[in-house]
Amino acid sequence: TQLLEQSPQFLSIQEGENLTVYCNSSSVFSSLQWYRQEPGEGPVLLVTVVTGGEVKKLKRLTFQFGDARKDSSLHITAAQPGDTGLYLCAGPSTGRRALTFGSGTRLQVQP
Amino acid sequence: NAGVMQNPRHLVRRRGQEARLRCSPMKGHSHVYWYRQLPEEGLKFMVYLQKENIIDESGMPKERFSAEFPKEGPSILRIQQVVRGDSAAYFCASSLGADNEQFFGPGTRLTVL
């Protein structure tokens, strides 16, 4: 069974700070996706990383896929209250289309 | 271009009743996935369907749960004789093809009294 572990589980920071959240597995994934979910809503896809070592930037968000395709990180620069939410990483289970999700990092950015 | 639509957004049922959750995929998408999310947890896969076919139901409880995606109309997740443990948020996602990214709907929050 492929598992994705995310850390930290909770993070509360002040506006303007930088932060990094992690998504780790002992298994290789063909790709990993990052989603953000706000209370009462469904997950919204932020990015998909496919190639080992890949770095993708989305404004103040930087996503990295590990060389061995077993881990990923999300770095947010100068966090804003609008970044508050649950950040989930997910990857396709081997040989299947179902996504395996991590349990998420709940981020709160205080103004 | 409408996204994935789910209804109802909130559903309250008493123990023993039936719950029917509907999902309309994005336009042009023929692959539908259902996931369940318990409070403070990530999403857990339940079932994957293409039009008129169940492709993977490995995450679906063996009893009381069923899913369909008819040729016409939305995909339906049906839970018979609901119990309190069925209370959760149920999300539907759709994709253009089997290898494409999945886009999620807003979810149906089921509460069993």
Q: What is the pLDDT of residues A48-68, one digit of tens each?
A: 999 999 999 999 999 999 999
CA Rg value for chain A? 13
Residue A21 near chain B (CB below 8 Å):
no
- Is the pLDDT reported for residue B94 higher than 80? yes
Mean of pLDDT values over B46-55: 93
Check: CB of residue B103 under 8 Å from CB of residue A45.
Answer: yes
How far apart (Å, rounded) are the C-alpha atoms in residues A62 and B84? Answer: 41
CA distance B63 to chain A (A): 20
Find the distance separating the first CA and the last CA of chain A, reported in whole Å: 40
pLDDT of residue A110: 95
- Is the pLDDT reported for residue A26 higher than 60? yes
- Is the pLDDT reported for residue B1 higher than 70? no
Of A42, A45, A103, the CB nearest to B41: A103
- Is the pLDDT reported for residue B49 higher than 70? yes
How far apart (Å, rounded) are the C-alpha atoms in residues B45 and B58? Answer: 8
What percent of chain B clears pLDDT 70, i.e. is strictly above it?
A: 99
How far apart (Å, rounded) are the C-alpha atoms in residues A19 and B76? Answer: 40
Cβ distance of A98 and B58 shorter than 8 Å: yes
- Is the pLDDT reported for residue B37 higher than 90? yes
Residue A78: phi, psi to the nearest 5? 50, 65
CA distance A59 to chain B (A): 21
Other CB atoms closer than 10 Å to residue B62's CB: what's the count? Answer: 6
Find the distance separating the first CA and the last CA of chain B, reported in whole Å: 37
- Is the pLDDT reported for residue B110 higher than 80? yes
